[in-house]
Structure 1
Amino acid sequence: MCTGRCARLVGLALVPMALACMATNILLLFPSREGGWMNHLTPQIWLMGGFVGGGLMVLCAGFSAIHAGGKGCCGNRCQMLRSVFASLWGGLGALYCLVVSDAGLTYGPLCLHAQGKWGRPFSPCSESYLVNRKMWDQCMSPPQAVLWNVVLFSITLDLGALELLLCTVQVLNGLLGTLCWDCRQPAKSQDEGL
């Protein structure tokens, strides 16, 4: 496969993933699909790992890869080199998304728990609340906060891992395209055919 075509495919895969990460992070701001809980969100939600890291930073890498693999740029080493740097930037964003999402899953949501206090009832536990759904009943408000937190942070975690993989592929592909040229040939002009 040509490096240009590969870059285009990677970019076309990264763009929807980045948009999905951004949408997922926005949904995390509204536990249980309600907007009245803004004062009770975890730091991991406010760090915007899915919006900034897995979203905007990866979006730059995706558009750069699409541009490097465009039909009118056969063999353009500068665009491939730019896509390498953009993919490194996107890889850092995806890694940031992974770290923040992992922390969000590890410590759990901020909720009103059984003692009548707001806090994170799962963070000091030795047993993981992710495998023991009976522990989820400790969170009384917002309703279904644990499920909301687990599902959405799992989505950003998985998307961040895929984005990191694709950005790594594009770094290698872009270096190959920069050093070895793209295998596609530019269109021949009519004068050359005569």
Structure 2
Amino acid sequence: MCTGKCSFFVAITLYQLALLSVICNILLFFPDWKVTYAKEGNITEEVKYMGGFIGGGVLALIPALYIHLTGEQGCCANRFGMFISIVFAAAGVAGAAYSFIVALLGLSSGPLCKTENGFWETPLKESNFTYISNFNLWTRCIEPKKVVQFNMGLFITLMVASILQALLCVSQIINGFIGCLCGTCNESEVMRVG
């Protein structure tokens, strides 16, 4: 696969992962599918860091747009354009790392929920990830309903999406170096050589 087509593939996949990250981050604001918890500020602290929106969304979308341009024929599909795509892909790696770290922190802390004593707290924070497989600990959270499963599912999805984003951006960095050294091998360049 030539460097231009590889860039195009990376960009299209990054678009989808950025959209997934933004959706997951938005959903985390609405545990039990209710707005009241967000209005009252009773949501997990790590959700407010907007890792999926900023890191997995915006910081992945900007490189995706530029990388998409390097995948097409035109002004950016040249050696200099491939070099600039390396810089944007590095920003994408940083965004993916931010999204991953925030999701990991959210997963390790567990959800903010109302416990049996009537207070809003993070009762699973001290469990050191053991709550993930220990279903009995989930009963500590009374409200919102099924908030443990809700947060776990979305934070794990954000972690997987950020890992894939980082891998794609690293592949674009490698692709960009090859494009800088060898050219982008678009059809117009092949026709000129042949």
Name the counterpart of 1:79: 81
Name the CA distance, whole Å, in 2 between partners of 1:74 and 1:127.
Answer: 45
Answer yes or no: is the 8 Å Cα contact 1:4–1:74 preserved in 2: no
Is 1:13 the counterpart of 2:10 in the alignment?
no
For the Cα contact (< 8 Å) 1:94–1:160, is it kept in 2? yes
- Higher mean displacement: 125-134 or 163-172: 125-134
Structure 1 residue 64, shift from structure 2 partner: 1.2
Contact 1:97 1:156 in 2 (8 A): yes
Mean alpha-carbon deviation: is it higher for 74-83 or for 90-99?
Answer: 74-83
TM-score (norm 1): 0.92
- Where does residue 154 of structure 2 map in the other structure? 152
Change (3 A) 1:157 1:74: closer
* Inter-partner Cα distance in structure 2 for 1:126 and 1:141: 21
Residues 183 and 113 from structure 1, CA distance in 2 versus in 1: closer, same or farther, beyond 3 angstroms? same
Q: CA deviation at 1:143?
A: 1.1
Question: SS of the residue aligned with 2:74?
Answer: helix
Counterpart pick for 2:141 among 131, 135, 139 = 139
Q: Deviations over 1:171-194 (max 9, x none)?
A: 1101110122122341799xx9xx
Which ranges of structure 1 fall in alignment gaps of 5 or more residues? none
Equivalences for residues 39-188 of structure 1 within 5 A? 39-72=41-74, 76-126=78-128, 128-186=130-188
CA–CA distance in 1 between the matches of 2:67 and 2:109?
35
- 1:65 CA drift (Å): 1.1
Describe the shift of the 1:74–1:53 C-alpha distance in structure 2 as closer, same or farther (beyond 3 A).
Answer: closer
Following TM superposition, the consecutive aligned residue runs of length 4 or more in structure 1 with deviations greater than 4 angstroms are none
Q: Secondary structure of 2:107's match?
A: helix
Contact 1:8 1:66 in 2 (8 A): yes
Aligned residues: 190
Partners of 1:86 and 1:177 in 2: how far apart?
15
Instruction: Provide the rounded CA distance (Å) in 1 between the counterparts of 2:79 and 2:130.
Output: 49
**CA 1:80 to 1:7, structure 2 compared with 1: closer, same or farther past 3 Å?**
same
CA root-mean-square deviation: 1.8
Mapped partners of 1:127, 1:100: distance in 2: 15
Of stretches 122-131 and 44-53 in structure 1, the one that deviates more from structure 2 is 122-131
Q: Which amino acid aligns with 2:3?
A: T
Question: Larger helix proportion, structure 1 or 2?
Answer: 2
Amino acid at match of 1:87: A
TM-score of the superposition, structure 2-length normalised?
0.92
Contact 2:76 2:82 in 1 (8 A): no
- The AA in structure 2 aligned to 1:34 is K
Q: Shift in Å at residue 30 of structure 1?
A: 0.6
